[in-house]
């Protein structure tokens, strides 16, 4: 497990606070009514998304259980503020059924949240706290009885800079206002790797019989954390963190087209409604898989 010890924690914290203030000022960050403590979403059955001010941006959150499902929503999500301009976004998609998936996803979110909240006590960097939290989540979920496991997608936000971390097939996308995909994580699955290698196209992968086989999960001895590059968000970019309930019902280009423009609330409601419509009324021409649906859409304030 990473420790991330600092030679001078107080000096680094002071520098981080000064940098945060400069970043917020440079990006016209309005601090009116920010989320001042972590907000965890578990067992949600929303009909409309929620909007929260977070750091230098605004986050729209939507989470609902699979249509017609009698058991609880096994997805979980969280918004975790960190100082004035930093935050952590998380989405977990529980596996195992019979409440095991719900326990696994919630525990994974809670362990990363706790690690971030404890960061000032041990002088660690935010990056190290996230990694430690994921490692702790893996060990904790592995101790659950049955086949409990979960995917986990985490994004670290520091002013306009974002860095993705993921385990499994939950989705992280960074999209420009004109539709350019600036970041797209690769799911940890044989089918996704085949697409990346050029052996399958997106259409073939969407309908592949082994699409939902996952090769990397929280709760496994062989769990690995994939860390992406640190990227700078432009003022009109949109960041999306989602469970596979979104990617199984909308092609990537459809998600991009819906979130890249318009007010954030409107854009997030549009992708939620369209994904649920695909689940309710499948057609041969479009992807459709009934599943729990959870996503966070985030933009910088302008």
Q: CA 153: distance to chain centroid?
A: 4
As a whole number, mean pLDDT of residues 6-24 equals: 41
| pLDDT interval class at 209 (50, 70, 90) | low
pLDDT value, residue 99:
73
Which band of pLDDT confidence, cut at 50, 70 and 90, is reported for residue 59? very high
Residue 280's region, left for phi above 0, alpha for psi from -120 to 50, else beta, is alpha
Nearest to 169 by CA among 144, 145, 195: 195
Ordered structural domains, the chain, with CATH? 9-300 (3.60.40.10)
Identify the weakest region by mean pLDDT among 20-29, 110-119, 214-223, 252-261. 20-29
Question: Rounded to whole angstroms, how far apart are CA atoms 276 and 80?
Answer: 27
Mean pLDDT of the region 152-156 = 96
**Predicted TM-score of the model (pTM):** 0.83
Task: State residue 199's pLDDT score.
Answer: 58
% of the chain at pLDDT higher than 70 = 77
Residue 27 phi, psi dihedral angles, 5° rounding: -115, 25
Whether 101 shows a pLDDT value over 60: the answer reads: yes
């Amino acid at each position: 497990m990473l420790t991330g010890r600092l030679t001078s924690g107080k000096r680094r914290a002071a520098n981080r606070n000064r940098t945060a203030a400069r970043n917020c000022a440079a990006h016209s960050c309005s601090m009116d009514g920010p989320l001042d403590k972590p907000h965890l979403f578990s067992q949600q059955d929303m009909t409309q998304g929620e909007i929260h001010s977070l750091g230098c941006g605004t986050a729209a959150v939507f989470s609902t259980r699979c249509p017609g499902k009698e058991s609880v929503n096994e997805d979980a999500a969280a918004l975790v503020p960190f100082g004035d301009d930093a935050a952590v976004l998380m989405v977990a998609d529980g596996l195992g059924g019979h409440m095991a998936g719900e326990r696994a996803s919630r525990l994974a979110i809670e362990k990363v949240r706790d690690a971030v909240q404890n960061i000032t006590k041990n002088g660690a960097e935010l990056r190290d706290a996230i990694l430690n939290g994921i490692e702790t989540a893996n060990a904790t979920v592995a101790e659950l009885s049955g086949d409990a496991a979960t995917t986990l997608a985490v994004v670290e936000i520091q002013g306009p800079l974002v860095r993705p971390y993921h385990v499994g097939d939950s989705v992280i996308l960074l999209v420009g206002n004109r539709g350019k995909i600036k970041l797209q994580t690769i799911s940890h699955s044989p089918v996704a790797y085949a697409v990346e290698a050029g052996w399958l196209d997106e259409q073939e992968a969407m309908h592949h019989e082994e699409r939902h086989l996952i090769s990397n999960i929280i709760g496994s001895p062989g769990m690995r954390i994939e860390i992406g590059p640190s990227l700078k968000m432009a003022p009109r970019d949109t960041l999306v963190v989602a469970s596979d309930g979104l990617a199984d019902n909308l092609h990537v280009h459809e998600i991009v087209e819906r979130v890249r423009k318009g007010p954030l609330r409107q854009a997030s409601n549009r992708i939620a409604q369209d994904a649920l419509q695909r689940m309710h009324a499948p057609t041969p021409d479009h992807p459709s898989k009934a599943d729990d649906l959870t996503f966070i859409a985030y933009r910088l304030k302008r």
